[in-house]
A and B are shown apart, each in its own frame.
Chain A
Amino acid sequence: MAKNFIDLEELLERTENDRELMRELLSIFKEEFPQRHQALREAVKSLNATQVVMEAHALKGMLSNLAAVEAATAVAEMEDLGRKNETSKFLESFSRFEAIAKELSRQVEACMAEVSG
């Protein structure tokens, strides 16, 4: 069984049990995440530390709000690497994040179905 990357209990607490708001947040995430993810991928590819910091920071905010702690931690590590200009570690760190992100996207879909239902 896949690990849960979204802490639903935490998310419900943060939204004060407002399922409608939860659905709205998931929907915003679903729409915005792929663009941000792609922007980070490009920043990593071009070894642009400043851009990595910016994109990783934005993603960290989104993931934290979604109570996706593990993904937020992974992307925070990338932000940190960017700040230290440790470009050689970008790819390895990004691969870890991508593995989480793939499963996370699937779980967001499942969550949306659950909240909407």
Chain B
Amino acid sequence: MRILIADDELMSRRLLEKTMQRAGYEVTAVANGRLAAAELCKSERPRLALLDWIMPELDGPGVCREVRKRKDQSYVYMILLTSKEKKEDVVAGLESGADDYLTKPFDPEELKARLRTGKRILDLEDRLIEAREEMRFQATHDALTSLWNRGVIMELLGRELTRARRENKCTAILLGDLDHFKNINDTYGHLAGDEVLKETARRLVSSVRSYDFVGRFGGEEFLVTLNNCDPAFGLARAEKIRQTIAERPVETSAGSVPISMSFGLLLSQEWGYLSVVELLHEVDTALYAAKAAGRNCVRLAAPKVQTEGARELAPEPVWRRR
């Protein structure tokens, strides 16, 4: 673990440096408070620091205050080294943001023990951050496929459409539904069905660019947004994705399962200022048309051919079915 030592007095700095190296720390040593603050505010900073109280340019408590101002960074455990023993000095030091203090000249064993306390606190913080990130992931991703979940993919689509309108760009919305998925579940079992869903998700992600979005919209339905998509190539890109899904069977624990997917496609530029829900209704209608056309194909939602009659033929939109 890295540790910063800040002390303007050379003997003290050298003694600390050597003691810390012997204890297995990777040491960065500086001779004043300003350099210490700069070091502790870097993105790749040491997370343990031993700061002399009195230093040129910026004293130890000043360094603590500078570091604590940065709320966005991971915690730095700071120990002030001081010859000040008065209660009011200790209080002032701890109130500046220091976690602990040690009276100079220090005892090597006591110093190492206090640093171990610091490491325990940093480890605890790491575990909390890890747990928070895990919870954040669970709240935003589908548990089976690890794709964005329904809520998030709709929010991302909303943001993307706003951006596309502002910049006069096109977003292609693809709503895909695995063909005959019920039959897959019935024939191969639900475990194999889950494997098919996971592999479908993987194929979808692998067939789009890093800045496109893929989410699980419902049971066997997936929503893909192709951001900043040239409308002239929208249909060709959707077709390529369809081919990627269907190009080979999925190898599951219950055997090889051939799959295909039907897609509704909508190019946002052609639809003016419709809401996300309205656009999803249109793309769902196109998906229904793809199913009706024999499945394993893409159908484009076209505003000009959208008639009242066609709307009547369309089923309830997917988000209303659930």
Contact = CB atoms under 8 A, between A and B. Distances in A.
Contacts of B132: none
Contacts of B19: 16
14 contacts: A14-B107, A14-B108, A21-B14, A28-B14, A61-B83, A61-B104, A62-B9, A64-B104, A65-B11, A65-B104, A65-B105, A66-B11, A67-B105, A76-B83
A16 B108 contact: yes
B95 to A, nearest CB: 21
| Binding site secondary structure of chain A | helix
Interface of B: 8-12, 14-15, 18-19, 22, 54, 83, 104-105, 107-108
A28 B105 contact: no
Given A16-B108, A60-B83, A65 B18 contact: no
Contacts of B108: 13-14, 16
Nearest to A54: B54
A41 to B, nearest CB: 19
Contacts, number: 50
B9 A15 contact: no
A28 B83 contact: no
A62 B10 CA distance: 8
Interface residue range, chain A: 20 to 34
A64 B22 contact: no
B15 A25 contact: yes
Nearest to A65: B11
Nearest to B106: A14
B12 A65 contact: yes
| Binding site secondary structure of chain B | helix
A61 B22 contact: no
A76 B14 CA distance: 22
A19 to B, nearest CB: 12
A78 to B, nearest CB: 14
A42 interface: no
B11 A32 contact: yes
Contacts of B83: 57, 60-61, 64, 76
A22 to B, nearest CB: 10
A21 B11 CA distance: 10
A32 to B, nearest CB: 6
A67 B54 CA distance: 20
A47 to B, nearest CB: 22
A86 interface: no
A70 to B, nearest CB: 14
Nearest to A53: B54
A18 interface: yes
A67 B107 CA distance: 12
B33 to A, nearest CB: 15
Nearest to A76: B83
Most buried by A among B18, B83, B105, B108: B105
A60 B19 CA distance: 20
A16 B22 contact: yes
A16 B18 CA distance: 10
A45 to B, nearest CB: 23
Interface string A47-65: 0000000000110111011
